[in-house]
Amino acid sequence: MVARGCSFSILQEMSGTENPKDAVGPPRSLVRKKRRRRWRILIAAGLLLLAAVGVASYYWIKSNRAERFAAAGDALLAADKWNDAAVQYRVALQLDPSNYHGLRGAARLATTADRPESLGLWQKVLTLPQCTTRDRQDYADMLIKTNRLNLAERVIDPLLKDNPDTKTLQLATRYSKKIGDIVKAIEYARIATKRAPDDDAPRFQLAELLAESTETSDQAEAHKILWELAAKPGLYKKAAVEALATAPQLTTDERNRVLQELTALAPKNIKDDLLAADLRVQLHPDDAARIYREAIERWGNGQTQEVVDLARWLNAHQQAELVLSTFPIERALEDNQLLLARLDALASLQRWNDIDDVLSRSDVTLDPSVIESFRARTAQERNAVLDAEVHWNHSISLAGTDPYKLGFVANFAEQSRATAAALKAYEQLARFPEHADLAYRGIQRVSQKSGETTAQRAAMSKISARSPDDPNAADQLAYLSLLLGEDVDKNLAIAKKLTEQYPNRLSYRVTTALGYLRQHDPASALAQFKAPAPIDWKRTLPAWRAVYAAALFASDRNEEARDIIATIPRDRLSPQERELIESTPETK
């Protein structure tokens, strides 16, 4: 027994173990607790990892599904299936509100459909890291179309500073034209044509700008470009031929050539056919009656829109009797646009009683605001001033809850030269935020036509208040205030600041010059027109030329001033602008 005990002790020593009874260390229960704790931690970490993987997988699956719906929307939009595309984009954005392709597609669809939500959608696209130059260009295009010019400027300016491509230059051209800077518009268009000499789009854009000029050389250059585009097959061949058909100062040979080009265009449509008829009337005025009858034979029984276009064309050619005989009241009642054309024909013949009879019929389905507008115009033409006022007010009241009806009444009153009614309708329209800019610009336009600079300034004040960061609105407000001689120091300071920020904007320098003239500082006024490149004054707005001429007169450069004044159509100046160039003995 002693031997076994010794051997056991020796084995323990050799194995490095001790007698369990003499061992020192944690109890087995504590070891088991630690082991269980480690397993719990490992299991919890595993569960968290699985949860994270699950969440990531869930969002990945949602994102992929959103991509598929967005791609389906793109395909449907390309196929002009707008409603179906909208459903796909809506589902994509419900799955992933920040999905780039879903937002971009929805923005393009909303823009195509002229929906107000397009602005918000594009602004979300621009916040995403995937946003491209093309997206910014499409956004700027929408802003220009909807007259959000201050926002458009903020998008276009950075694009112009980063090696602009042809599309950016075309956008800059359109923007410049919209703000009235034709010189800058032509400059951008020329750069675009040099950048892409084989691209017909900027060449056609340049031709359109030059064609609007009163300069013979510009019109000749426009004709040259249009003839070149018309001579080759392509996207702009048809547009070039149509532009030539309406171009002024064509020779007889050129008219015959355009007529041949129009005749050769395919497929045939009423627009090109009526343009060809216009040329035939110009070439053979003695055959006009026959040409009108032939147009009626070709299109008098066409589709509804073709019939309406024909009636409007005949009205434009003062063929009211033909409109009435071709489209009797029973047929005109089938379509409201055709009925409006018939009413226009009756108005041109001053058959006011017949208009009253038509408007009183129970089967007339025109909107009541439209009926009241015609009644107002009828009363106005009869010099029944009070009756006209009552009907205009009634038409505005009837349209009061619908901005589109208000827009019709405002435009109809403007075309009818009913200034007070037009202003009132536009003021009502301005209550609708999405139509406010259009309304205020309508007020400004009507006021300008009537020579009411005070009303024009009030409208611009509201536009500027709605867009406090819009430099163009600020400049226009300062210009009109300076014309009226109001707050000269304050408005000159605004103009000077804008000129410093945008030294290449001639319109801002004109305003600054006007401010210096109001302060009797002709030297500083004239200094605003010193530019690195000479200014082609014949291409500028008449008002700008008036300010420049006034600065020349005030600087005793009378001969130069008279040369500029000779180019100004005075009927396009406000009373205050005319006063600028009529306040010296030499011009009286």
Q: What is the 3-state secondary structure (H, E, C) of 335-373?
A: CHHHHHHHHHHHHHCCCHHHHHHHHCCCCCCCCHHHHHH
Same domain for 444 and 384: yes
Q: Which of 219, 185, 183 is nearest to 545 (CA)?
A: 183
Residues 568, 456, single domain; the answer is: no
Give the number of residues written for the chain.
588
pLDDT on residue 536: 83
Q: What is the pLDDT of residue 436?
A: 79
Do 487 and 584 fall into the same domain? yes
Q: What is the pLDDT of residue 414?
A: 93
CA geometry: angle 544, 500, 506, nearest 5 deg: 20
Do the beta carbons of residue 96 and residue 58 sit within 8 Å? no
Nearest Cα neighbor of 555 from 507, 515, 517, 585 is 517
Query: 495 and 509, same structural domain?
Result: yes
Interior angle at CA 305, CA 303 and CA 306, nearest 5? 65
Exposure letters 361-385 (e unless 16+ CB within 10 A, then b): eeeeebbebbbbbbbbbbbbeeeee
Instruction: Give the model's pLDDT for residue 59.
Output: 59
Has residue 246 been placed in a domain?
no
The reply to whether 234 falls in a domain is no
Any idea what the CATH number is for the domain that residue 436 is in?
Answer: 1.25.40
Q: Is the peptide bond before 267 cis (omega within 30 degrees of 0)?
A: yes
- 533 and 477 within one domain: yes
Indicate whether 151 belongs to any domain.
no
Instruction: Report if residue 411 sits inside a domain.
Output: yes
One domain for residues 477 and 588: yes
Q: Would residue 188 count as lying in a domain? A: no
Q: Which two tokens stand for residue 37?
A: 């704790």
Residues 462 and 481 in one domain: no
Q: Say whether pLDDT at 451 is over 80.
A: no
pLDDT in tens, 137-158: 999 999 998 878 878 989 999 9
Of 468, 501, 532, at which residue does a domain stop?
468
Q: pLDDT per residue over 268-308, tens digit each?
A: 899 999 999 999 999 999 999 999 999 999 999 999 999 99
Tokens of 377: 């115009």
Same domain assignment for residues 493 and 463: no
- Structural domain including 584 reads 469-588
Say yes or no: 576 and 556 in one domain.
yes
Number of domains in the chain: 2
Rounded to whole angstroms, the maximal C-alpha distance in the chain is: 150
pLDDT number for residue 181: 82
- If one compares 187 and 249, the residue with the highest pLDDT of the two is 187
Q: Which of 40-44, 230-234, 415-419, 514-518 is predicted least confidently?
A: 40-44
In three-state form (DSSP H/G/I as H, E/B as E, the rest C), the secondary structure along 221-275 is HHHHHHHHHHCCCCCCHHHHHHHHHCCCCCCHHHHHHHHHHHHHCCCCCHHHHHH
Residue 352 CA to residue 383 CA, distance in Å, equals 12
Q: Is residue 447 part of a domain?
A: yes
Residue ending a domain, among 468, 489, 513, is: 468
pTM strictly above 0.85: no
